[in-house]
A and B are shown apart, each in its own frame.
Chain A
Amino acid sequence: MASGLGLLLLLLLGQFCFQLLGTSGDSLQHHRSLQKDNGSWGLEETPENGSMVSAHALLFSLDYQHVQIPFEITLWIMLASLAKIGFHLYNKMPTVVPESCLLIFVGLIMGGLIYSLNDKSPPVMDSDIFFLYLLPPIVLEAGYFMPSRPFFENIGTILLYAVVGTMWNAFGIGLSLYGICQVKYFNLQDVSLLHNLWFGSLIAAVDPVAVLSVFEEIHVNEKLHILVFGESLLNDAVTVVLYKLFKSFCEMPSIKLVDILAAIGKFFLVGIGGIFIGLLFGVFAAFTTRFTKTIRVIEPLFVFLYSYLSYLTAELFHLSGIVAIITCAMSMKRYVEANISQKSHTTIKYFMKMWSSVSDTLIFIFLGVSTIGNNHEWNWPYICFTIIFCLIWRALGVLVLTFFVNKCHVNTVTRKDQFIIAYGGLRGAICFSLVFLLPEFSRKKLFIAATTVVILFTVFVQGMTIRPLVDLLDVTRRRETSPTVSEQILIRFFDHLLAGIEDISGHWGQYYWKDKLEYFNSRYLQKILLREYDQPKSSIVLLYEKLERKHAIELAEAGQLIHTPSSTSLLRSRETAVSIQSPASTNRDIMDNIQEILTTNLYKIRRVAPAYNRYTLPGEMGTAEQAKEILIRRHKSLRLSFSQSDSDQSQKKHIYSSSHGDSEIKTIRCQSLTGDSLAPSGVKYSRSKSECYIPSLKASGVEWMNEDERDKDQIL
């Protein structure tokens, strides 16, 4: 606690000094220019001063202007990172107050400091900086690590929420605010309908940055996470169109029907154009990585360059950059991961996480800094009604849309989910930058003030209260007695059973299209974009062998060496209650022990674990460890079943098998077990990939055989 505070104080002090430096640099510059300006008086003075200055310059010179820009940028990033360390050192805070709130708070302090020192407004976050430099890393990381199976399973719902929901919100908020403006008492007559609609369009957008940072705290299931997250990413297209639409409407003298139709067409163009650009760059990236075998070190660079290019190209044509970069990341991921080395892969992941983390932190700090200043006009009625309408319209929108979704779809969105979706619609930096991009007109400051308050409200109030409310909802439903041990085990048993049967029956809704895509992929795309078919084998072999040896040792040791205190007490109690006929009045401690053991150690079902985590790489999460463990344990039984493969197959393929080395056979078997294990993250969502590699192997004519049988055949 003390160390955290100390760290914060230290860096605040550092910023303080740097600001002083800044001012002193300014004054020095000013001083010099004054000397030049004054005529003869200056000339007489300068040699004297010049000699004084030059004498000092020999020993000690200060040239701040030279390094100002990179220096300031680095210091800001340093501040952001140190703040992050500070928060995580004091562990208790992030559970109550989400990190984004703390970062805004730090920003507020910084802004206050700068304002009081310089007596002028602190640097406002430039919209260009935000849209060109700070936003792309976050969206890229989100798109790259987006779990594609849940995303495409729920794509209909996500699109419905993103498109229809955002438009509903925008128009609803705009129109109701216009209604408020009509009230004479509030002194808002001059805010026109168009301006209100414009404001509505930018405030309606749910922000992925804010949503992500808050959803870390609450543990929602995979489907809900992907719904809110996907929606926040995709509503960018709608926001962009609406914003530009109203901007052009404001500039036009009159609005005809043709313009409105053109706007609707523009919307489709923006979305589809973004997707197209993303796919194009994704294919280029995949193709490029096919040839990087000899220069492994620059492989990660291509991923970043192509993604950023896709974003910039889309922005160039006024299409949706966010949709483009997400599509690029999702489309190139599969092929790039197959082509690049394991180390490049890790590098890419770590860099993405790092950059997005830094961006995220910087955005929130700048939000805080920009809040202080003279940019605001505080018309409280307008602001309060904005907040109220935001909440109301979002709740209404979610209710109505969910009603339709539940009718058509088989996966229902429960009441609790609806609440989380509605309440979790946080606004963030995108609204903020958009409002600064508004052209100067009389009421701009009003809008800026309203946006600031809405963002602060959603991030602070909604961000902090969402977790307790979710817990409250859970508690109200679980008012029955806690399940007995057998019930708990049975419930988990059924969950696993259901998940397994779902996997067998192929539970993806748009199954037909997925099949088509897979077919297209294996016939054409793989040939062009992948370096070689058997390239993945070597990395899988390495991984699997590493897994086997390391984990076999670990498992053996873990099984023998763990002696928790509870086990001895359990042992003792078991001896006393040895006959099954003993009454059910067991010791309370034993029950608690058992419950505890079960809750921590029962394998989790896939749907409960969130698929996406901000701060850890996918391979490091507990669920991947669980998957590895299960695979190792089942390895034996899987091997046995492969040895029972059809005899007629072995006859046919015998000819081919002799041409491959031993390692190849092992690799193919490994491949069958781990599917796509290039990234441990892929194990869960690898259904498409495992089914995809198998046909390629069949095509190359290698067969599945047990090692022993293989050796026997070779001898023959």
Chain B
Amino acid sequence: MGSSGSHATVIPDGDSIRRETGFSQASLLRLYHRFRALDRNKKGYLSRMDLQQIGALAVNPLGDRIIDSFFPDGSQRVDFSGFVRVLAHFRPVDEEEAGIRDPKQPEPLNSRMNKLRFAFQLYDLDRDGKISRHEMLQVLRLMVGVQVTEEQLESIADRTVQEADEDGDGAVSFLEFTKSLEKMNIEQKMSIRILK
């Protein structure tokens, strides 16, 4: 199946997906194979269960949230274009590409802003544009072992929000979130090299 790699026509809407996400032909083909492999019953789309059967994901503390990010707006199915769209956020940033980009076109999915927006949405479940203390607490609870008591968690969440919050509204907006991650090399931290 994968011996001759020029089966662009095999992928539905291959060209438009490629333009939108910026993946190379080879990467797209590889992702298509992966999609097909995950899709157990050859339904043509992925359900939550398909993703949950990935063993290593089950023991990832953020597993649920990551899976949810593939199913925006409460849908229960994700087709190949949706699958690739999410993964496109993790494409490494190509420096030359950023330079020759046409400013009128929408930002590519793997730009810094879009990467951060993706990460922000994993925190901000109610989509109000802010990470409230409660939402921060929920994420913390996912990431920390059971030995930590509720009070400790709350104080840590308080501290986290406090450090990032600049306008003092008790929540972290997207801009504040971006600012707190200035020092971090997001382009590298949110990039998977093989997705070139």
Q: Which residues of A contact B (CB under 8 A)?
A: 410-411, 484-487, 489-507, 509, 511-512, 515, 555, 558-559, 562-564, 566-567, 570-571, 573-574, 580-581, 584, 586, 590, 594, 597-598, 600-603, 606, 626-627, 629-631, 633-634, 637-638, 641-642, 644-646, 649, 672-676, 683-687, 689-691, 694-695, 698, 704
Taking the closest CB of chain B, its distance from the CB of A573, in whole angstroms, is: 8
Decide yes or no: A603 and B184 within 8 Å by CB, A497-B190, A630-B59 being known contacts: no
Does B63 lie within 8 Å of A634, measured CB to CB?
A: yes
Does A645 lie within 8 Å of B193, measured CB to CB?
A: no
Binary interface encoding of chain B residues 10-52 relative to chain A, with 1 for a CB under 8 A from any of its CBs, else 0:
0000000000000000000011011001101101000111011
Does A487 lie within 8 Å of B184, measured CB to CB?
A: yes
CB contacts under 8 Å to A, within B74-106, are 76, 87, 90
Decide yes or no: A504 and B66 within 8 Å by CB, A675-B58, A676-B55 being known contacts: yes
* Among B37, B40, B150, B168, contact of A698 (Cβ-Cβ < 8 Å): B40
Decide yes or no: A581 and B168 within 8 Å by CB, A493-B139, A694-B40 being known contacts: yes
Listed residue (B40, B156, B164) with the most chain A CB atoms within 10 angstroms of its CB: B156
Count, chain B residues at interface, CB 8 A: 71
* Among B163, B170, B190, B194, contact of A486 (Cβ-Cβ < 8 Å): B163
Does B62 lie within 8 Å of A497, measured CB to CB?
A: yes
Does A683 lie within 8 Å of B59, measured CB to CB?
A: yes
Q: Is B155 an interface residue (CB 8 A)?
A: yes
Decide yes or no: A501 and B90 within 8 Å by CB, A581-B168, A594-B155, A691-B53 being known contacts: yes
* Among B61, B147, B152, B195, contact of A505 (Cβ-Cβ < 8 Å): B195
* Among B143, B159, B183, B193, contact of A493 (Cβ-Cβ < 8 Å): B143
Does A485 lie within 8 Å of B163, measured CB to CB?
A: yes
Does A498 lie within 8 Å of B58, measured CB to CB?
A: no
Decide yes or no: A504 and B195 within 8 Å by CB, A494-B190, A601-B144, A602-B143 being known contacts: no
Decide yes or no: A509 and B57 within 8 Å by CB, A515-B33, A574-B155, A580-B162 being known contacts: no
Does A638 lie within 8 Å of B59, measured CB to CB?
A: no
Does B181 lie within 8 Å of A638, measured CB to CB?
A: no
* Complex: A498 Cα to B115 Cα, angstroms: 12
Does B152 lie within 8 Å of A567, measured CB to CB?
A: yes
| Closest B residue, CB atoms, query A644 | B76
Taking the closest CB of chain B, its distance from the CB of A516, in whole angstroms, is: 9
Does B57 lie within 8 Å of A505, measured CB to CB?
A: no
CB contacts under 8 Å to A, within B139-159, are 139-140, 143-152, 154-156, 158-159
A/B interface sample: 5 pairs, CB < 8 A? A486-B161, A489-B139, A504-B57, A603-B145, A646-B43
- In order of increasing CB-CB distance, the 8 nearest A-B pairs are A675-B55, A690-B55, A410-B193, A627-B59, A686-B55, A500-B66, A486-B160, A506-B34
Does B53 lie within 8 Å of A558, measured CB to CB?
A: no
Which residues from chain A contact B34 at a C-beta distance below 8 Å? 505-506, 511
Taking the closest CB of chain A, its distance from the CB of B121, in whole angstroms, is: 11
- 19 additional A-B pairs beyond A506-B37, A563-B149, beta carbons within 8 Å, are A489-B139, A492-B143, A493-B122, A494-B119, A496-B61, A499-B60, A500-B57, A501-B192, A503-B56, A504-B70, A511-B34, A570-B151, A626-B145, A634-B63, A645-B47, A672-B52, A673-B58, A687-B56, A690-B55
* Among A490, A637, A675, contact of B64 (Cβ-Cβ < 8 Å): A637
* Complex: A709 Cα to B16 Cα, angstroms: 42
* Complex: A698 Cα to B41 Cα, angstroms: 9
Does B192 lie within 8 Å of A502, measured CB to CB?
A: yes
Q: Is B180 an interface residue (CB 8 A)?
A: yes
Does B147 lie within 8 Å of A558, measured CB to CB?
A: yes
Which residues from chain A contact B47 at a C-beta distance below 8 Å? 645-646
* Among B33, B52, B183, contact of A487 (Cβ-Cβ < 8 Å): B183
Decide yes or no: A638 and B52 within 8 Å by CB, A498-B192, A629-B145 being known contacts: yes
Taking the closest CB of chain A, its distance from the CB of B141, in whole angstroms, is: 9
* Complex: A484 Cα to B145 Cα, angstroms: 20
Which residues from chain A contact B158 at a C-beta distance below 8 Å? 574, 580
Does B87 lie within 8 Å of A496, measured CB to CB?
A: no
Does A580 lie within 8 Å of B31, measured CB to CB?
A: no
Q: Is B124 an interface residue (CB 8 A)?
A: no
Which residues from chain A contact B186 at a C-beta distance below 8 Å? 494
* Complex: A486 Cα to B61 Cα, angstroms: 18
* Complex: A581 Cα to B167 Cα, angstroms: 9
* Among A509, A555, A606, contact of B56 (Cβ-Cβ < 8 Å): A606
Does A504 lie within 8 Å of B51, measured CB to CB?
A: yes
Does A485 lie within 8 Å of B159, measured CB to CB?
A: yes
Decide yes or no: A511 and B58 within 8 Å by CB, A502-B192, A504-B87, A594-B156 being known contacts: no
Decide yes or no: A512 and B56 within 8 Å by CB, A562-B149, A601-B148 being known contacts: no
Taking the closest CB of chain A, its distance from the CB of B195, in whole angstroms, is: 6
* Complex: A490 Cα to B122 Cα, angstroms: 12
Does A570 lie within 8 Å of B143, measured CB to CB?
A: no
Taking the closest CB of chain B, its distance from the CB of A442, in whole angstroms, is: 55
| Closest A residue, CB atoms, query B145 | A601
Listed residue (B38, B163, B186) with the most chain A CB atoms within 10 angstroms of its CB: B163
Does B58 lie within 8 Å of A570, measured CB to CB?
A: no
Which residues from chain B contact A645 at a C-beta distance below 8 Å? 47, 49
* Complex: A502 Cα to B30 Cα, angstroms: 13
Does B164 lie within 8 Å of A493, measured CB to CB?
A: no
Which residues from chain A contact B170 at a C-beta distance below 8 Å? 580
Which residues from chain B contact A598 at a C-beta distance below 8 Å? 144, 156
* Complex: A600 Cα to B155 Cα, angstroms: 16
* Among B2, B66, B150, B168, contact of A497 (Cβ-Cβ < 8 Å): B66
Which residues from chain B contact A637 at a C-beta distance below 8 Å? 64
Does A505 lie within 8 Å of B31, measured CB to CB?
A: yes
Q: Is B189 an interface residue (CB 8 A)?
A: yes
| Closest B residue, CB atoms, query A603 | B61
Does B189 lie within 8 Å of A642, measured CB to CB?
A: no
Which residues from chain A contact B154 at a C-beta distance below 8 Å? 574
* Complex: A555 Cα to B183 Cα, angstroms: 37
Which residues from chain B contact A496 at a C-beta distance below 8 Å? 60-62, 143
| Closest B residue, CB atoms, query A652 | B41
Taking the closest CB of chain B, its distance from the CB of A408, in whole angstroms, is: 12
Does B54 lie within 8 Å of A503, measured CB to CB?
A: yes
Decide yes or no: A505 and B55 within 8 Å by CB, A511-B33, A574-B154 being known contacts: no
Listed residue (A494, A555, A642, A694) with the most chain B CB atoms within 10 angstroms of its CB: A494
Taking the closest CB of chain A, its distance from the CB of B20, in whole angstroms, is: 17
Listed residue (A490, A498, A562, A634) with the most chain B CB atoms within 10 angstroms of its CB: A490
Taking the closest CB of chain A, its distance from the CB of B46, in whole angstroms, is: 10
Does A690 lie within 8 Å of B40, measured CB to CB?
A: no
Taking the closest CB of chain B, its distance from the CB of A634, in whole angstroms, is: 6
Which residues from chain A contact B180 at a C-beta distance below 8 Å? 486-487, 490
Which residues from chain A contact B165 at a C-beta distance below 8 Å? 580
Taking the closest CB of chain A, its distance from the CB of B168, in whole angstroms, is: 5
Which residues from chain A contact B161 at a C-beta distance below 8 Å? 486, 580
Which residues from chain B contact A501 at a C-beta distance below 8 Å? 66, 87, 90, 192
* Complex: A676 Cα to B53 Cα, angstroms: 11
* Among B40, B60, B160, contact of A485 (Cβ-Cβ < 8 Å): B160
